[in-house]
């Protein structure tokens, strides 16, 4: 048997790579993980975690306004310091980065702070030229923001840079209308910027239930966020005063202070040497893998966003765990991709699990839909017009709940619990058999008509 430096060499210490490394090591494997940027990956360093902290920070803008209706004296000159929030968020990121490193070290995973590229089925080369061999290689290098190749695109930023801004700009234009665009639209708006979202199609958040995303659009517009649809990005011109002039199809050009691209993410496979080992990519540049995360090269596996299956942290973590348990733990495991809950941390947030109404009608034929459209009591007292909307999609024949879609305060927190019932295949009658917990917003889940 060949004598390798490691049993497993992982490229990329994000959510999937970190989980796979430490679980494989716990199963007794000799593991090294190479990371060219910072241990923790997109989610921890420049994604979910710092984004959620900004969302919390942004929410205070409305909470402080509402507080007056609840009797609190909030001075009218109450000020927000972006620098304070930014620096505190970045310190928290540093803390988590340290915690991730410690976890790997305590599991005897060797951390290599360098880029590594594949040079064959069992070998990699580090940035300093060192060659390493491993019986198996796991690619967990994630994805990066896609930026349209239009003139002047270099004047725009992506979500990567948004966490490091010197100040909150007055006028922000966000290209795209997906997760990142809607989340950052809420954040920038609450911090006082005028935000415009432009999208090439007529839709926001394609893939989410139509009624729910329509509600987000309506509330966002009510708050003052502007939308331009059928607007293909044509270019950015930097003016003498530093402002940016943005051109797009079907609309007048706009002058703004910041342009942020949120137009999807592409797998980080470029220049990774995958061709040296016969690892095949799909049309989007993602690594093709089978149900056991194995690529077209038998000794090379891949998990997470680089495989472009479901670009969500908890999915990458499950894939990393399944890979390590299957290959090193003698515990064959496959990820179940059915009924994965997801949320958009917009203002207000949205969340959903299972089939949308349209998908259910296409798949099942007979469908029953129940909705609850209500103004949360906190919004009523605060004089806030925003209404929450919950939608339950059921199989018309069996009553099984096949989808749950929500928009309103705290819905990601509510949906995580409700998703257990949807995943378990419970029926509307079983939801209704549970007594309502009053007064809550989530009681609507058992009271829908
Ligand atoms: P999304 O896929 O959510 O949205 C991309 C948006 O950009 C869409 O509006 C799309 O328009 C538009 N678009 C795509 N390509 C182009 C192009 N070439 N030119 C102009 N517009 C384009 O991507 P995001 O970047 O917002 O997020 C990436 C992924 O990260 C998400 O899909 C999600 O998996 C993950 N994520 C998850 C979060 C969460 O769980 N809360 C938060 C943030 C990210 P159209 O509709 O016409 O295709």
Q: Kindly give the pairing relationship between strand 367-374 and strand 342-344.
A: unpaired
Residues contributing to the annotated binding site for NAD(+)? 176-183, 264, 305
Instruction: Report the pLDDT value the prediction gives residue 188, as an integer from 0 to 100.
Output: 98
Between CA 53 and CA 385 the distance in angstroms is 25
pLDDT, residue 31, reads: 98
**pLDDT on residue 449:** 87
Concatenating the DSSP letter of every residue in 211-225 gives HHHHHHHHHHHHHT-
Please say whether the beta carbons of 144 and 268 come within 8 A: yes
Which residues share a beta bridge with 406? 351, 390
Number of residues that this document lists for the chain: 449
How far does the centroid of ligand 1 lie from the alpha carbon of residue 408, in Å?
A: 21
Closest listed residue to residue 344, CA positions, set 284, 402, 262:
262
> What atom of ligand 1 comes closest to residue 232's alpha carbon?
20
**What was the pLDDT predicted at 339?**
98
CA dist 307 and 16 (Å) reads 11
Active site residue 438: yes
Compute, in angstroms, the gap from residue 183 CA to the centroid of ligand 1: 11
The number of CA neighbours under 13 Å toward the Cβ of 329 is 18
For 283-306, the pLDDT digits (tens) are: 999 999 999 999 999 999 999 999
How far apart CA 215 and CA 226 sit, in angstroms, is: 15
Give the ligand 1 atom nearest the CA of 176. 7
Per-domain residue ranges of the chain: 6-144+266-328, 153-263, 348-446
Q: Which residue numbers belong to the known binding site?
A: 52, 176-183, 264, 305
CA of 180 to the centre of ligand 1 (A): 7
Full DSSP string of 113-168: -S-EEEEETTEEEETTS-EEEEEEEEE---EEE-----TTGGG-EEHHHHTT-SS-
Extract the annotated binding site for FAD: 52
Which residue in 319, 262, 307, 280 sits closest to 141, CA to CA?
307
What's the pLDDT score for residue 1?
54
Residues enclosing ligand 1, CB less than 6 A? Answer: 148, 176-181, 183, 199-201, 203, 206, 233, 262-265, 311-312, 342-345
Cβ atoms of 414 and 442 closer than 8 Å: yes
Domain 6-144+266-328, CATH class in plain words: alpha beta
* Atom of ligand 1 lying closest to residue 179 CA: 26
Centre of ligand 1 from the C-alpha of residue 441, in Å: 29
Could you say which DSSP state residue 172 is in? E
State the pLDDT at residue 225: 98
In degrees and rounded to multiples of 5, residue 382 shows phi and psi of: -75, -5
Superfamily of segment(s) 348-446: FAD/NAD-linked reductase, C-terminal dimerisation domain (3.30.390.30)
Do 153-263 and 6-144+266-328 fall under one CATH topology? yes
Q: Residue 359: count other Cβ atoms within 10 Å of its Cβ.
A: 16
**Residue 33 in 3-state DSSP?**
strand
Q: Does domain 153-263 have CATH number 3.50.50.60?
A: yes
Ligand 1 centroid distance, CA of 160 (Å) = 14
Ligand 1 centre and the CA of 181: distance in Å? 8
d(CA 302, CA 77): 52
Q: Which atom of ligand 1 is nearest to the CA of 311?
A: 34
Separation between Cα atoms, residue 19 and residue 323, nearest integer Å: 10
Regions of the chain short of the pLDDT cut 70: 1-2
Closest to 43 (Cα-Cα) out of 293, 304, 268, 287: 304
Selection from 428, 441, 431 nearest residue 376 by Cα: 441
Q: Which helix (H) or strand (E) holds 173?
A: strand 171-175
Pocket test residue of 15, 55, 200 for ligand 1, highest count of atoms within 8 A of CB: 200
Atom of ligand 1 nearest to the CA of 344: 41
Catalytic member of 189, 347, 405, 438:
438
Whole-number Å distance, alpha carbon 146 to ligand 1 midpoint, is 9
Query: Is pTM beyond 0.85 here?
Result: yes
Pocket test for ligand 1, best of 41, 246, 263 (most atoms within 8 A of CB): 263
């Amino acid at each position: 048997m060949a004598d390798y430096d490691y049993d497993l060499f992982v490229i990329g210490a994000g959510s999937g790579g970190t989980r796979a490394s430490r679980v494989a090591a716990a199963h007794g494997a000799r593991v090294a993980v190479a990371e060219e940027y910072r241990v923790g990956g997109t989610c921890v360093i420049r994604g979910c975690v710092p984004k959620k902290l900004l969302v919390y920070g942004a929410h205070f803008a409305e909470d402080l306004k509402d507080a007056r209706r609840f009797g609190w004296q909030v001075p009218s000159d109450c000020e927000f310091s972006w620098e304070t929030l930014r620096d505190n968020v970045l310190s928290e990121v540093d803390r988590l980065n340290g915690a991730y490193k410690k976890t790997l070290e305590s599991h005897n995973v060797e951390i290599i702070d360098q880029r590594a590229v594949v040079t064959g089925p069992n070998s990699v080369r580090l940035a300093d030229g060192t060659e390493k061999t491993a019986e198996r290689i796991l690619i967990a290098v994630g994805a990066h923001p896609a930026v349209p190749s239009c003139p002047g695109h270099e004047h725009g930023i992506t979500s990567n840079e948004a966490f490091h801004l010197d100040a909150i700009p007055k006028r922000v234009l966000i290209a795209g209308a997906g997760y990142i665009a809607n989340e950052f639209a809420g954040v920038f708006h609450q911090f006082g910027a005028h935000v415009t979202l432009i999208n090439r199609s007529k839709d926001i958040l394609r893939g989410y239930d139509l009624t729910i995303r329509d509600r987000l659009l309506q509330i966002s517009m009510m708050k003052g966020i502007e939308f331009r649809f059928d607007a293909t990005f044509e270019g950015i011109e930097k003016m003498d005063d530093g402002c940016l002039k943005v051109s797009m199809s079907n609309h007048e050009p706009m002058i703004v202070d910041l342009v942020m691209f949120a137009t999807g993410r592409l797998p980080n496979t470029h220049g990774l040497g995958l061709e040296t080992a016969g690892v095949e990519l799909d049309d989007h540049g993602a690594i093709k893998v089978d149900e056991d995360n194995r690529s077209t090269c038998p000794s090379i596996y891949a998990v997470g966003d680089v495989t472009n299956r479901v670009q969500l942290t908890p999915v990458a973590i499950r894939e990393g765990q399944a890979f390590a348990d299957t290959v090193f733990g003698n515990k064959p495991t496959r990820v179940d991709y059915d009924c994965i809950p997801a949320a958009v941390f917009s203002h207000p947030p949205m969340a959903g699990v299972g089939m949308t109404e349209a998908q259910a009608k296409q798949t099942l034929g007979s469908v029953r839909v129940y909705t609850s459209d209500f103004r949360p009591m906190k919004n009523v007292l605060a004089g806030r017009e925003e209404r929450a909307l919950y939608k339950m999609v059921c199989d018309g024949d069996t009553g099984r709940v096949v989808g749950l879609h929500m928009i309103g305060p705290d819905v990601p927190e509510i949906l995580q619990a409700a998703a257990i019932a949807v995943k378990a295949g419970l029926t509307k009658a079983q939801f209704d058999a549970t007594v309502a917990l009053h007064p809550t917003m989530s009681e609507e889940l058992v009271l829908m008509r």
